[in-house]
Structure 1
Amino acid sequence: MTQQVRGVISRAKGAPVEVTTIVVPDPGPGEAVVKVQACGVCHTDLHYREGGINDDFPFLLGHEAAGVVEAVGPGVENVAPGDYVVLNWRAVCGDCRACLRGQPWYCFNTHNATQKMTLEDGTELSPALGIGAFIEKTLVAAGQCTKVDPAAEPAVAGLLGCGVMAGIGAAINTGGVTRGHSVAVWGAGGVGDGAIAGAYLAGARRIIAIDVDPRKLEWARGFGATHTINARETDDVVKAVQDLTDGFGVDVAIEAVGRPETYKQAFYARDLAGTVVLVGVPTPDMTLELPLIDVFGRGGALKSSWYGDCLPSRDFPMLIDLYLQGRLPLDKFVTETIPLDGVEAAFEKMHHGDVLRSVVTF
């Protein structure tokens, strides 16, 4: 039997989002219905509204969510009704070439629910990142549900579903940050601060946050940044990073902005044989030009980080445990909690850099 619930949709490119009635089907084979308790407002949701992802309107927005499994379909064994879960947008298949070679975090065949949630007139919705969680109840693939300790508040736990995990994973999983490393992070938003928190957790001795907003740089210190650079007030960011690292540059440079000019800074601000990690999402029109001799001569590694190269079943419970132990300040990412009809206003605050994360709570 279908259910009718309230959710936030984007009908057309650039149009304000709206709260409307959504029809959620019963879960089919391999699917689950989750009662959403909290969902973060991520910049990716704004990208969907602006048509920056694709044009499959109308979109059901929201994807950084935590909640309780209400019902599961046939064949579901990983979760059961009553389980407290964080939703993820990379439900691994277990059968593709990446999974079969023991690297499921690179799964090339991640999946979503087969059925579609719809408007009352039957119009099918495109759920953001295959989740769609600005809604009272959502339909997802059961593999998108990761059980975690219910002691963690939903507004905090749900943030692992996207941006915070992308940042932490970019540092630890992709960048391989470990004890004694020096790290620089371009962009001190949700993903960048996640990378800073991850580097701090891994034992980096020097963590440099780079941004143009003094407020964000101050927030970055709360996640473990030992030094900050205001790029708007600095003539040469690369030299500023080198000056803070005995003239050598950092071991790991993490670009969380997604722009060619900041990527170039990260490339040249790393030490010889250092690692550059791109976790900021560029737009399709952006291009990058680097002298090939510099790519060769500096050595090291140039990496892209997909979702922090995380394995949700491994990483989500571990990070929640670290949060509950007081070792990972996930609660500092939550700037405000808002009602379901506050998403459009939250986008405006995000655009002006007034929040780290607004979180819809139910």
Structure 2
Amino acid sequence: MIAASQQDWKTAHKLLDAGAAVDLGDKNGFTPAMAAAMHADLKMFGLLLTRSTNLEPEKPCADGQDLLSFALDGGDPEIIEAVEQRLPILSEWTTSTRRALSRALQAGKNDEIRLLLSKHSAPPTPEGKSVPFLAYAIASSNVSLFNTLLNCGADPNTLLPSHCDKDFLALLPNGLRSYIQEDRNVTMLMLAAGLGQVDYLRTLIDGGANRTRLTTRNKMSALDVAAETGHWRSAQILLGGGPAPENLRIEISLPMQSVALVRDGVPIYHARCSTGRAGYSTKRGEFVITNKERKHRSTIYHVEMPYFMRLSCLDFGMHAGYVPNHPASHGCIRLPEDTARKFFSEIPVGTLVTVQ
């Protein structure tokens, strides 16, 4: 050990030839392999590896540094790679593996990034943070980091921690921030959906992200998050599709109590409707049809709602019902039965519905 730490490689060679124990460290746990890595002596490091029977590259010495840390200090890329390849599967990222990942990300070394990700069962986080790099990439619109991580094997079903870092939460709009702070097991897909990041959504889905997974407390899916935060384009993607609004959409006018079916920018069908009366105002905004039920019964008002078309997973939708010449519903959009039947049969799930 003394010979290695003093770079007396000639003596070290003799000791190795005499059968010295190469894995034995000093009183602080500093080993010959650490000395060779620190001094970037590739030849001696390789010799030590061939004689080693119990390398334990993850084991730190007294000052907290491990073999990878010394290899990074030495800077020899072959030694660094050799140490990384010999790492066991780690449950958490260490200071040295985070440092190695940051170095590989900066240098664009995808093979090394892939190797480091494969050596950990937990997603990588910045030093001192609990939120994964992948979440920071989505929230800060860092396309390069996002694509690199996913292409190198980051899990598209990565979860946010129970308590997120303040700087991460500051990147989020108020509505989404509240959902994330109040719930548990929020996925990257939910995060992207709530931010309206449609390109990230598509990439995560293509990479195998689970669309049906629910949060622990509020039982929210990514589609629910997209709907609640008003991102209808995200909702369409999570539904698996829907017509482009310029090709097909439904427009509901609250002042006129009317509904129009618009195809290719031209209204092709008009009908009366009845929306929420005083105290039960119909929500305004842009929504998508998220599901349809031929025979639906309200669990709140215990009435039949034939040809029900729910809007953005919310507690209202369009359905057949009594249509006077004024707002009369509890918030839904009542349609004449022939109109409801026509929309139910002809308008696909995912179609945009504007209420204004």
Structure 1 length-normalised TM: 0.24
Question: If you compute each CA radius of gyration, which structure gives the higher value, 1 or 2?
Answer: 2
With CA pairs under 8 Å and 6+ residues apart, which has the higher RCO, 1 or 2?
A: 1
Structure 2 length-normalised TM: 0.25
